[in-house]
Amino acid sequence: MTRTLAVGCPRWPIVVADLPPDAPAAVFHANRVVSASPEAVACGVRKGMRRREAQSRVPEIEVLPYDPATDARAFEAVLGVVESFAPRVEIVRPGLCVLAARGPARYFGGEQPLRDRVAQAVDGAIARIRTHPLHIDDRTRTGIADGPFAATLAAVRGQVVPPLGSPAFLAPFGVDMLDKPYLADLFRRLGVRTLGELAALPRHRVVARFGIDGEIAHRLASGDDHRLLEPRPMPPELTVSRELDPPAKRVDVAAFAGKAAADELAAKLLELGLACATLEISVETEHGEERTRIWRYSSAFTPAAIAERVRWQLEGWINDSSRPTGGIGWLRLQPLDVGAATGTKVGFWNRRGEVSDRVRRSIARVQGLLGQHGAQQAILSGGRHPSEQTSLAAWGDPLEPQRAGLPGTKAVAGPVEVEMPPWPGRLPTPSPAIVHTDPLRTDVVDADGERVTVTGRFGVSSVPSRVRLHGRWNDVVGWAGPWPVDERWWDAKAHRRRARFQVALADGTAHLLTLESGDWKVEATYD
Amino acid sequence: MGTDRVSALLAEAPGLGRACDLDAPRLAVLEAFEQLLPDGGLRPGTSTQVCGVGATTLALSLVARASQGSWVAVVGMPSVGLRATAELGVDLDHLVVIGDPGKRWTDVVAAVVDAFDVVLARPQLPGREARKLAGRIRERDAVFITVGAWPDSDVRIDGSAARWDGIERGHGHLAARRLDVAVGGRRSAARVQRATLWLPDADGEVRLAEPDNVPDNVIALR
């Protein structure tokens, strides 16, 4: 078992934004909090919270866009420092990397001194890219354990797990720590709640039932994740090399070539029935400068995920102090581990087999311009709220409903067939053609101009007569409601109590309104 | 001289290309639109603007039939209701959503009209730049549909006077809608066609409505 050092920068997207340490700020993606500053967290802002809710808790909160490319670019500074301790640093995501600890620990006089030295050096590197001091909670965390996953959790707690201690250290953590919500949900329903319980199951059984994601989850849970997949002799033809002629002078051009190389690698893997979760990406300029990075992924790499990492690596290099002097002339992708693609999910992207090369190239071009999430595909999913009833995934990533789906239907999750929950209380059809990403504020009054409210037992205080939209009052010609939505009453944090109304207005428009804690909002429009 | 060469030459001469492809394939539309649209379908290389009340639903139902086999890109409409899109018959397996192209709107549209059969977009451009792009769309064989005004559009569709059924004062729910639709434009579309559409009816279908005649399948909740 390999001793592994994990280096984690908490709240990396916030750290990159370079705000004063006490500023309330949060990074949002698709209207939800991805990361929040210590000050915002202290005021009750949580990961996954909607933007409106975060803003109602902290009105002066700084809203930052989610931009993984910027985060990856800034992380180059950290990687440069970590690499000075030992080569072959593996990047898990911008903000987190792992490396073998044995060699440098011997050199620096033990694992504890190594931990402290790395943390100090990385804090120094971060201080150089920031103008403001770092919040004390955002200081770099380091941890050492057997295997990268255990080391990462050890870093969160700032400790060194003794050799052979990883399984015992991991056992009490919940299955949510795997960061695979869909699988964690299934595990919980099967009564497997902790990593220890998962690790206690025979691996071949887990693989047989949940496929490749199950294998990765089992390896993580048992601390046996030096490689996420069964290491096996690497077929030499699996390396994809590409010469760029003429050399690419712009990142988007090089990233476009990266996308093509990623597709080629994915096709090769698929043909051999293999999947890969650790990948080495090398790029070289026309002048012979080279940069190699090792990327780990939380499951089998998809073409989109590979292409995204090629792009991050290129952008990071170009903005680095040791930036290349010429165009990118050559790039190489080499899998470092491969496993048999046992599950049904691998090759799932091939579902759209009839995609023409023309369409594929055009989407690659769009993703080159906007990033992987610029072009997405949708799939129907379960849920009560109109925005919950579909899931989006970057083109090239496997599509999976976020919440189990439609009433009466059955879905296949791995080899398991699951009966779908009915989602009582969802809206009647037709569904609204516009679901506002940021619900609009509005007001509803009765014939006397008094604001309409809802009683504790979901009765209306008076008859809605006019609705204010875009600053103008509109007469109500038809209305229905209130429809109570009392979700997750068992969970104090996620509990939401709302009343919904449909209104048809005199100008022919119709809307879905919600009333929550006294505020009227237009949630969706039947345009 | 091969046929390809001939059509390439014709395409370069403004006006001529149009005249030669009268029998060019059209993308199929729902029956309700067949009589309304000037060509009985969506003609590749043309742009159509959809405005007024119900524009989003009109535009989505316009591409529903075409999406069963052709690729559709939706650009710059991050709040489009995807559940409604599926209900209107659009095949999500053939749909690519480019929600927020930001400042790269022109580049993104230019990239997708090269490859997609149908492009649905919300215009985000000053008029002059839009005209430049309109030329490119005409050269390609994409059907370009905008929700909102677009300069030089070949076909213009306007929705007005929406009447909702199924919702009363305090009960029922939005179940069906009738919408007056006017289709006009240039050349073959110069004469304005008017009709009332169920968009959708109580069964979720889009079809022509008899003016002011409530069909049996709508339950009056009185």
Selected residue of B74, B82, B197 to mutate for chain A interface (largest A Cβ count, 10 A): B82
> B48 to chain A, minimum CA–CA distance in Å?
18
Mean pLDDT of the B133-156 span:
87
What average pLDDT does the structure give for chain A? 84
Residue B86 domain flag: yes
Total domains present in chain A: 5
Alpha carbons A468 and B5: distance in angstroms, whole number: 59
Q: Computed from CA positions of residues A80, A84, A90, A93, in that sequence, does the dihedral angle turn out positive or negative?
A: negative
Kindly report the number of other CB atoms within 10 A of residue B104's CB atom.
Answer: 16
For residue B8, pLDDT over 60 is answered with no
What residue in B sits closest to A352 (Cα-Cα)? B93
CB environment A65-83: b (16+ within 10 A), e (fewer): ebebbbbbbbbbbbbebbe
Residue A163 domain flag: no
What average pLDDT does the structure give for chain B? 82
Alpha carbons A521 and A513: distance in angstroms, whole number: 6
Alpha carbons A510 and B53: distance in angstroms, whole number: 10
Q: Residue B77: which CATH number? A: 3.40.50.300
Q: Which residues contact A20 (CB under 8 A, 6 or more apart)?
A: A132
Kindly state whether residues A23 and A141 are assigned to the same domain.
Answer: yes
Closest by CA to A307, choosing from A365, A268, A236, is A365
Q: Is the peptide bond before A113 cis (omega within 30 degrees of 0)?
A: no
Residue A208 domain flag: yes
pLDDT of residue A230: 66
Kindly state whether residues A176 and A152 are assigned to the same domain.
Answer: no
pLDDT tens for each residue of A142-197 = 999 999 999 999 999 989 999 999 999 999 999 988 888 888 888 888 889 999 99
Task: Say which of A351, A433, A478 has its CB closest to residue B57.
Answer: A433
Confidence of residue B4 (pLDDT cuts 50, 70, 90): low
For residue B19, pLDDT over 80 is answered with no
> A277 to chain B, minimum CA–CA distance in Å?
27
pLDDT of residue A304: 84
Residues of A in contact with B164 (CB under 8 A): 477-478, 504, 510, 526
pLDDT of residue A422: 56
Mean pLDDT of the A475-494 span:
78
ipTM of the complex as predicted = 0.85
pLDDT of residue A1: 53
pLDDT of residue A142: 95
Write down the residue that tokens 């979760």 correspond to. A277
Q: Is the peptide bond before A235 cis (omega within 30 degrees of 0)?
A: no
Q: Contact at 8 Å (CB) between B181 and B159?
A: yes
Mean pLDDT of the A126-150 span:
91
pLDDT of residue B15: 42
Residue A228 domain flag: no
Strand partners, A18: none
Q: Residue A184: which CATH number? A: 1.10.150
Amino acid at A63: V
Determine whether the interchain pair A436/B93 forms a contact, defined as Cβ–Cβ distance below 8 Å.
Answer: no
Domain that includes residue A290, residue range: 236-348+356-366
Residues of B in contact with A508 (CB under 8 A): 53-54, 160-163, 179
Alpha carbons A220 and A218: distance in angstroms, whole number: 5
Domain that includes residue B82, residue range: 27-208
Task: Say which of A377, A390, A478 has its CB closest to residue B96.
Answer: A377
Q: Is B160 exposed, middle or buried (0-12, 13-18, 19+ CB in 10 A)?
A: middle
> B46 to chain A, minimum CA–CA distance in Å?
19
Q: Contact at 8 Å (CB) between A347 and A270?
A: yes
pTM: 0.59
Task: Say which of A361, A432, A508 has its CB closest to residue B81.
Answer: A432
Among A248-262, A301-315, A485-499, B38-52, name the one with the lowest average pLDDT: A485-499
Residue A226 domain flag: no
Residues of B in contact with A432 (CB under 8 A): 81, 84
Q: Which residues contact A352 (CB under 8 A, 6 or more apart)?
A: B93
pLDDT tens for each residue of A53-90 = 898 889 999 999 888 888 888 898 899 899 999 888 99
Kindly state whether residues A249 and A331 are assigned to the same domain.
Answer: yes
Strand partners, A442: A520
Task: Say which of A359, A432, A510 has its CB closest to residue B71.
Answer: A359
pLDDT tens for each residue of A88-102 = 899 998 999 999 999
Residue B38 domain flag: yes
Q: Contact at 8 Å (CB) between A197 and A203?
A: no
Which DSSP letter does residue A183 get? H
% of chain A residues with pLDDT over 70: 89
Kindly state whether residues A379 and A475 are assigned to the same domain.
Answer: no
Mean pLDDT of the A498-509 span:
92
What is the CA B35 to chain-centroid distance, rounded? 14
For residue B17, pLDDT over 70 is answered with no
Residue A478 domain flag: yes
Confidence of residue A353 (pLDDT cuts 50, 70, 90): very low
pLDDT of residue A341: 65
Total domains present in chain B: 1
Kindly state whether residues A498 and A443 are assigned to the same domain.
Answer: yes
Alpha carbons B121 and A329: distance in angstroms, whole number: 36
For residue A235, pLDDT over 50 is answered with yes
- Considering A202-206, A225-229, B11-15, the range whose residues carry the highest mean pLDDT is A202-206
pLDDT of residue B38: 87
Confidence of residue A412 (pLDDT cuts 50, 70, 90): very low
Kindly state whether residues A15 and A97 are assigned to the same domain.
Answer: yes
Residue A449 domain flag: yes
Alpha carbons A154 and A339: distance in angstroms, whole number: 27
